Amino acid sequence: MYKELVINAIGPEIRVALLEDGTIVELYVERSDESNLSGNIYKGSVQRVLPGMQAAFINIGLNQAAFIYVDDVIDGRTNGYLEHVYLSNKEEEDDDDDAGLQPEDVVTEKDISKPKSKSSIETLLSEGQEVLVQVARSPIGSKGARLTSYISIPGRFLVLMPTVDHIGISRRIVDEEERLRLKELMLSLRTQNFGYIVRTAGEGLTEDKILKEIEFLANLWSDIQENFPTASPPALLHQELTVTLRCVRDLLTHDADKVIIDSVAVHKSVQSFIEKFMPRLKDSVTLYEGSEPIFDANNLEGDIGRALKKKVWLKCGGYIIIEITEALVVIDVNTGRYVGKHNFEETILKTNLEAVKEIAYQIRLRNLGGIIIIDFIDMERKSNQEKVYLSLTEALKKDKSKTNVLPISDMGLVQMTRKRVVKSLTRMLCEPCFYCDGEGTLLSKQTICNNIYRDVLRLSHDVQGEKISLRVHPEIADLLLDEVNDIIISLEKHLQRQVVIYPVAEFHIEEFNIIEVFLE
């Protein structure tokens, strides 16, 4: 399967599409107004030590001072780095996600069970002291960024922890033989007493790929160490990668064969990044110079627009409906226009099997997560149910995010869960409808006309004018003057006044005004 990254960096946002044999399967979007500092590494200076809170404020160059708690400070007597840190007895580390594409995706203090500090904050830090820190949590409202001295640098398959001597395996890798294999491989391949966590995506990783990842992360850490002594605080030493560089780091190395970029500046940035950290892949990056927009040239806009719709048509004539709620995602399969050629059970089976491929594709592209309920068309034969279930589990294997699928229930439902690490495509590109306030429905035109009738009657006792001016949306005006004209006739008869209808194009379809008209 040929895979490539198509990066559209011209314009107000950056979009990165992963294509498999020319079909978009994943989409990442980053806008200039979305700033997340988590994972950034700074050289900061201590502004104030607070013994009563066992914390300190540190200037890292933001509008408000960041803070660090005593348990997140490495003892200065080890020159800023720990050779050994006792972790909890559990060997299972939670790597937080399966894709490794997010700036907030770093292993921080919540992932590593550090021992409670036996030192007080005032013995570890002093005002004016220069420190190496990483943002564990971005500023939220009036709260400053939270920092840690326990540095962690995420890669696609590994997380490097240079301040910790420990090898951990993601707890989502459940096969004990595979866990042991990975741990022994890591212990044999690492050249320094750095800590590593093998992430969920590292399951089945070969020695060659592990070496590439170790080399990549070691180069990043070496770069930070080289810049620390000469940088004047506050200074940013390592910025968690942009969506473009994250995708290059995480996808090009293992999942894509080629990268095409439409921006000269971004192409130069990617080339520089690859030459420094992934030199063997420098020939994989191409600058797009076509006159047609890069996403149009690859026929991607239509697929993205289709992924925002509730209804998705199948080639056979059936369709699926995708409903996203607060608690779960519901997917319903329907035969639609497909009537089959032989018998009803065959029609249902073919529709369900075709729906399986589309559902797996849409789940991945839309990045649907949490609890997902799929309502397949009821099948009488258990053998057919098994075919659909096995087909679904097979189709979901292409998805890097972890999924757990239960067999089809007696009611024809499939219950599954999927780990989501970024917002779904709908939440990323859409907002609640300002017409319906996110309800997802509008009043029917007939209901609106009936409401108009009742509102006019409510005002009948106070109406003094010779005429009633009714201002409505054009579609409602057409309806009142044609199909439901009896409503207007009834009102005129009841009020003994003329009702004049004025269409107003700017009106919401549910909006209307009732105005008395006095004649001179």
Condensed to tens digits (0 to 9), the pLDDT of residues 394-427 reads 999 888 888 999 999 988 899 999 987 567 888 8
Statement: residue 83 has pLDDT above 70? no
Q: Quick one: pLDDT at residue 112?
A: 45
**509 alpha-carbon distance from chain centroid:** 33
Q: What is the DSSP string of 448-472?
A: HHHHHHHHHHHTTTT--SSEEEEEE
Q: What would the mean pLDDT of 233-241 be, rounded to a whole number?
A: 86
Quote the CATH superfamily of domain 41-239: Nucleic acid-binding proteins (2.40.50.140)
- Work out the average pLDDT over 45-58: 90
CB–CB of 348/408 below 8 Å?
Answer: no
If we measure between CA atoms, which residue out of 493, 513, 506 comes closest to residue 451? 513
Tell me the average pLDDT across 452-477: 84
For domain 445-517, give the fold: Hypothetical Protein Ychn; Chain: A, (3.40.1260)
Report pLDDT digits (tens) over 115-149: 555 688 888 888 999 999 999 887 765 678 889 99
**Polymer length of the chain:** 520
Helix (H) or strand (E) holding 9: none
Report pLDDT digits (tens) over 267-276.
999 998 888 7
Structure tokens at 244: 């473009």
Average model confidence (pLDDT) across the chain: 83
Residue ranges per domain, the chain? 3-33+256-301, 41-239, 308-429, 445-517
pLDDT on residue 164:
86
Give kind and range of the element (H or E) at residue 487: helix 485-495
Compute CA 293 distance to the chain's CA centroid, rounded to the nearest angstrom. 24
Give the pLDDT score at 179.
92
Q: Are 360 and 392 in contact (CB under 8 A)?
A: yes
Higher pLDDT, 56 or 519: 56
Distance CA 491, CA 449 (A): 12
Half-sphere exposure for 48 (CA within 13 Å, toward CB): 8
At residue 156, the pLDDT reads 74
Q: Please tell me the predicted confidence (pLDDT) of residue 148.
A: 92
| Amino acid 360: pLDDT | 95
b/e map 88-122, b = 16+ CB within 10 Å: eeeeebbbbbbbbbbbbbbbbbebbebeebeeebe
> Does residue 239 or residue 186 have the better pLDDT?
186
Dihedrals phi, psi of 486, to nearest 5 degrees: -65, -25
The residue ranges of DSSP E strands in 341-489, in sequence order, are 370-375, 403-405, 413-418, 467-472
For residue 260, count other CB atoms closer than 10 A to its CB: 21
d(CA 410, CA 74): 56
Range with the poorest average pLDDT among 243-257, 413-427, 493-507: 243-257
Q: What is the pLDDT of residues 352-363, one digit of tens each?
A: 999 999 999 999
CATH class of 3-33+256-301: alpha beta
pLDDT over threshold 90, residue 443? no
Report whether 39 contacts 135 (CB < 8 A): yes
The percentage of residues in the chain with a pLDDT greater than 90, rounded to a whole number, is: 39
**83 vs 405, more confident:** 405
How confident is the model at residue 117, as a pLDDT? 57
| Phi/psi at 282 (5° precision) | -65, -25
The reported pLDDT for the residue numbered 36 is: 61
- Overall average pLDDT of the 12-37 stretch: 82
Mean pLDDT of 48-69: 89
Q: What is the pLDDT of residue 92?
A: 41
Name 498's bridge partners: 467
Residue 190 has pLDDT above 60, yes or no: yes
More confident residue, 136 or 11: 136
Is 327's pLDDT higher than 90?
A: no
Are the C-beta atoms of 22 and 29 separated by less than 8 Å? no
Higher pLDDT, 79 or 132: 132
Residue 41 confidence (pLDDT) above 90:
yes
